[in-house]
Amino acid sequence: MSVIEKAQPMSAGEPAKALWISTLAFTLCFAVWTIFAIIGIRIKQDLGLNEAEFGLLVGTPVLTGSLVRIVLGIWTERYGGRLVYTLTMLAAAVATFLLSYAQTYPQMLIAGLGVGLAGGSFAVGVAYVSPFFSAEKQGTALGIFGAGNVGAAVTKFAAPFVLIAWGWQAVAQIWAAGLVLMAIVFWFSTTDDPAFRLRRERGVGSKSFAQEFAPLQNVQVWRFSLYYFFAFGGFVALSLWLPRYLVGVYGFNLETAGMIAAAYSIPGSVFRAFGGVLSDKKGARSVMYAMFAVSAVATLILSLPATTITPVLFIAVIFVLGFFMSLGKAAVYKHIPAYYPESVGAVGGIVGMMGGLGGFILPIAFGLLKDMTGLWSSCFLLLFAIVAISLVWMHLSVKQMSRRAHSAPVAAT
């Protein structure tokens, strides 16, 4: 029996309101989380940073947003998503506003750690939204929520114009103000999720940390984490790296590069909702196979020397890659409430953390590979290797599960 069946009846519009307001909040959080993708280019010019230093700068918020996800996921189950989500947005807003006063590279990195709190909102939202929906609808609901990744496109589309008009400091201040406003709207327009209300009504105490982390002993959780390392981490990394790539390889100006990167982010975000619907109807495993197969071909094409690929071909292939990544992101999170319904916060937090770490590690790796090899396309060769390993591991695991399923009746007989 699901949480929503056990809890007291909800009003007809309560799940929809929780989903859409949470999605809007996550969109703004994601816009803040990827703010360095645009203002980082101007900061790189101002401070004379090399590619590795730039990669570290844009990846620092992703590091914080990744590491705090598991903690925020557990706190959501303990204290309720409404409270934790609101406080997370306010804390990220303060850090983003203070970023506008940073002047040195170390100060930028420290401020970036605080900005990264916005990325932790994903784990909060997953644990908050899931209990509002039955198992048959959770894939679609979490797919819609995850479409808040489109916040990356908001930053890439709007931030260049604000930066040119008033400077990168204004971008940080305006984005911080938007988070504060969203936190206020969220607090006054939402209710606690059914799972938290049920625990509070029955006086059920919180699980111990050992119980919270027990599912993490399963290899399956870490396999899901690798999938998300590519599907989400790769998406974030490319969202951050793409403007720099387009400027460096094709000589685009910042405004054009930002708009192309925004166009990449949109299908890579909005179609996550479609991925959730497909996962509910066709099965998450089928969606994962399609995602890895197409991604392998796309990253292999993009691994060719950059000079051999025209801008039009590059943009077309990167859009296809972003689209299938969006489907894969939804499919991964379809598995979590299905396999671990009592540990969505912890398992969703660790999977989200590993995906976020991909968004931190990969931009740095992209910069290091570029500095070491001189090849811009080396970043896509790395992504191809991750896809190949994930696909092989998944296929072997599926074959193993099939053998167990066939041997079970024999053993019973």
Domains within the chain, CATH numbers bracketed: 14-197+214-407 (1.20.1250.20)
Distance in angstroms (rounded) separating the CA atoms of residues 231 and 355: 8
Q: Which residues of 181-204 are buried (b: 16+ CB within 10 A; e: fewer)?
A: ebbeebeeebebbbbbbbbeeeee
Q: Is the pLDDT of residue 284 over 60?
A: yes
Whole-structure pTM value: 0.73
Amino acid (1-letter code) at residue 46:
D
pLDDT at residue number 4: 47
Taking the C-alpha atoms of residue 24 and residue 189, their distance in angstroms, rounded to an integer, is 12
Whole-angstrom distance, CA of residue 290 vs CA of residue 93: 38
Q: Please give the average per-residue pLDDT across 41-70, as a whole number.
A: 83
- Weakest mean pLDDT among 154-168, 194-208, 252-266, 335-349: 194-208
Alpha-carbon distance 72 to 41, whole Å? 30
Q: What is the pLDDT of residues 300-351, one digit of tens each?
A: 999 988 778 888 999 899 989 988 998 888 888 887 777 777 676 678 778 8
Local confidence band at 411 (pLDDT 50, 70, 90 cut-offs) = very low
Q: Is the pLDDT of residue 2 over 70?
A: no
Rounded distance between C-alpha atoms, residue 389 and residue 323, angstroms: 20
What local confidence, expressed as pLDDT, does residue 408 receive? 55
Exposed/middle/buried for residue 117 (C-beta within 10 Å: 0-12, 13-18, 19+) = buried
- Distance (Å, rounded) from C-alpha 183 to C-alpha 88? 9
